[in-house]
A and B are shown apart, each in its own frame.
Chain A
């Protein structure tokens, strides 16, 4: 285990190490104190544990690394993540998982507005609630919400799938409630297990997705935009 105190060594030391192809061995990050861009652009399959709260863009563009934040995360957590796993034990601010292409993002607490905005293949599991406009323009991937969802869930959604256990305040344009079939129960069970969130059962969730009415620009749909 290598320990980096970013209040002394700065984030450059940490991020450079995460871009070093021949580095192996776990890394522990101390005193993040809300700093931005902690553990961004990782290219190697290492375990990174961040002890404390992080600012903007923690784990941005992550590839392969397994990053755990023992605390809360600021805006843009794991933005554009490609692979690996990112876990936050507390809450996450706006647009966590934005445009992420792959990997697994777990927020054990709540996630604020625009969680999973424009997601492109990532799996996101939120233990608590999500804010408004979550999964806005979500393209592919799965978003699991164990609590409630705010206004305009899945607005302008493409092919992403959303699972919600709690209340949905409203759905956005072209997002509708879908049938929960066996394959959905199966994939949701797997997602909850992968996220190590064990207190929920897949059968208590509902599925939301695209009505696909806005896929072609049509004047008859003008009122929906």
Chain B
């Protein structure tokens, strides 16, 4: 075909090729698309912010020389054993079931090597992940699959999951191809059936009940370990305030770019708000309650680089959490599997069918042959490398702003590139003093 031929083709803005393909798929299959990964649409994010760096009125710290502390204490509000992290980056909750046992072990190895925590998911705690995670957060989910008091007491913290950024208001699903004998046994379900995880807790409703539930869990664990509340970003100002009121030690806030193992595409792309405004709204709530830095805020959803980490901290988060990026560090979407991605009708960099159990990288699968491809030691080393890189990048930016602790980063260090991100983050549009929505 000639260039002239191409120049006459015009793609519709309303019906671009991926929309046409989805209509054709829906007409063929009669059911919504279920996939993994997170939101793929462009939303205002941390790339829309810039650090100002030091200048005449602020002096920087020497890179590689002067100390820039990255330690974080989580959950000292009520408990005897708060979590002490060496870096402000944790590993988000992902289930054994959605992930292979090897992948869970690799996450534990990588996180432990860097002095940070990893988190269980729907389906309970496996001995592999407990054994390889120095700090393990045990999720308390609506399904309560595998939930038992023995594991609860083995945990270093409990995370009550109210919602998830990829699907606030939605439960989980694990399709039959991933319900192996072991997964089924841990969840008290028949092998091979499609399995739903409930969207709301079976024995409490609303913040007043949550306060009673938190106290029950504290009684069961003898007030030893912190209790987090995880919320999907939809109404983060109110949800954060209510989590604090309910007695949570830590609020975990997951923006709409947060990943999922299996959710309807329409849910992933159209429910919840981006991480950028969510952080600012949650910090507003904490400050108004005089609980900022007393109840810690962990932010997740689309964290990819040290720049994202530093910007989240500057907006007031105490730490961040990564999920999708951690899987990519283990080997997800690696070009080395390109031939097999092609056979699955996709390509490295696009693969999102984490729900179907055929992951060539051996991460999102329960197939023993595929899972065996992931060496947990190597995967753990890659994750540790990645976490190290994120930490160094975060310190680089913090030192440039003259901060001896990454928590000293502040909104005053930031400007926004767009009017939208300025309004969402509550920082001035670059080159102006204007924060849209803050009045004149």
Contacts and interface: CB of A to CB of B under 8 A. Distances in A.
A160 B23 CA distance: 40
Contacts of A117: 202-203
B189 A158 contact: yes
Interface in B149-204: 149, 152, 175-176, 187-190, 193-194, 196, 198, 202-204
Nearest to B220: A41
A57 B213 contact: yes
Contact of B198 (A41, A43, A56, A137): A137
Interface stretch (B140-148, B330-338, B360-368): B140-148
B4 interface: no
B194 A76 contact: no
Interface string B17-35: 0000000000001110000
Interface string A177-221: 000000000000000000000000000000000000001110100
- The dominant DSSP class at the A interface is loop
- The dominant DSSP class at the B interface is loop
Given A216-B193, A216-B194, A37 B216 contact: yes
A215 B190 contact: yes
Contacts of B212: 36-37, 55-57
A216 B213 contact: no
Contacts of A156: 196
B290 interface: no
A63 B148 CA distance: 10
B412 interface: no
B222 A98 contact: no
A135 B29 CA distance: 33
Contact of B144 (A11, A99, A216): A99
Contacts of B30: 219
A158 to B, nearest CB: 6
Contacts of A99: 144, 147, 202-203
Contact of A140 (B148, B188, B219): B188
A99 B145 CA distance: 8
B202 A61 contact: no
B215 interface: yes
Interface residues on A, range: 35 or more
Contacts of B175: 217
B203 A98 contact: yes
A219 B29 contact: yes
B171 to A, nearest CB: 10
B225 to A, nearest CB: 13
A95 interface: yes
A141 to B, nearest CB: 9
Contacts of B176: 215-216
B213 A215 contact: no
21 contacts: A36-B215, A37-B215, A37-B219, A57-B216, A60-B216, A61-B148, A61-B220, A75-B203, A76-B204, A79-B203, A80-B144, A82-B149, A99-B203, A120-B188, A158-B190, A158-B193, A159-B190, A215-B176, A215-B193, A216-B193, A217-B31
Given A11-B219, A99-B147, A217-B194, 15 more contacts: A16-B222, A55-B212, A61-B149, A76-B204, A76-B216, A79-B203, A80-B147, A99-B202, A114-B202, A136-B202, A137-B198, A140-B188, A215-B193, A219-B29, A222-B31
